[in-house]
Structure 1
Amino acid sequence: MRTQNNTNNATGASPSVSDPILDAISAYLDGCAAYDAVHPNDFEKYGGEEGLIEKTYGPPMDILNNWNRPAITQEGALEALRFAIKEGVESLGLEPRIERLLRAAYYFYSGEGGAA
C-alpha cells in the first residue's frame, strides 16, 4: 500500500498512514499501462478487448467508479484531485468551468499556486 508519513509519534518516529485511494489510483494507472502495452493484434490472446480490460484496468476502474470514501491523507486527496483533472480533461472533455474549479481546489491544497 502507498503510505504517507505524518507527524512524529511519541518515540520521534514518523508513523505511516495508508491511504487506499492512492492504491486504487495506482492500480488503475498500472492497469492502463498494461493494457496499452498489448498490441491490438494480440487482444485475442486475452479473450478479446473485453477480456484484456478485465485482466488489466477493468477491476481497478470498477473500484474507482464505485468509490464512496474520503481520502485519509492530504497526499491521497491531492492525488484524487490531480487524477480527476487529468482523466476529466484528457479522457472525458470536462466542461471548462468544472476543470477550473477542480484546479482551483487542487492549487489551494497543494500550495503550488498555479494558474487555475
Structure 2
Amino acid sequence: MFTKTGNSFLAPEHYADRIGTALRNELGSTHQASKTLMRWTNANERTVKNWLAGASGPRGEHLVALVRHSDAVLVAFLMMANRQHALTTIELPRLRQKLQSAIDGIDAYLDENIRP
C-alpha cells in the first residue's frame, strides 16, 4: 500500500485560475455569463461566480459539461494536461475554413483584376 505524499502536478489555485480565465475570455464576467454557465452545468449561481473569479474550479460532471459547451475550457484543460497536440484536431476545421475564405478572396481578386 502506498501513502499519499508529495505534490500534485497542478496546484488547485492554478487549475481554478486557468478555468476562470478561459470562461471570462469566452463569456465575459457579466450576469449573463453566470446564467449561461448555470444553464450549461446546472450548477448554482454562487458556484459559477466562483469559477468565473478563479476562486474555485469545476469538479467532475461540471467540468465535463463545460468542456462540452466551451472550446476555451477544452483548450485550457488540454493545456493543463500537457496534451497540446490534441488541440490540432480542434483547430483543423477552423483553419480549413479560414484557408478556404482566403482562397475565395484571392480568386475573386484575380477574376476582377487580371484578365487574360
TM-score between both structures, scaled by the size of structure 1: 0.25
Q: Which has the larger radius of gyration?
A: 2
| Greater helix content | 2
| Greater strand content | 1
Q: Which has the higher relative contact order, 1 or 2, with Cα contacts under 8 A spaced 6 or more apart? A: 2
TM-score between both structures, scaled by the size of structure 2: 0.25
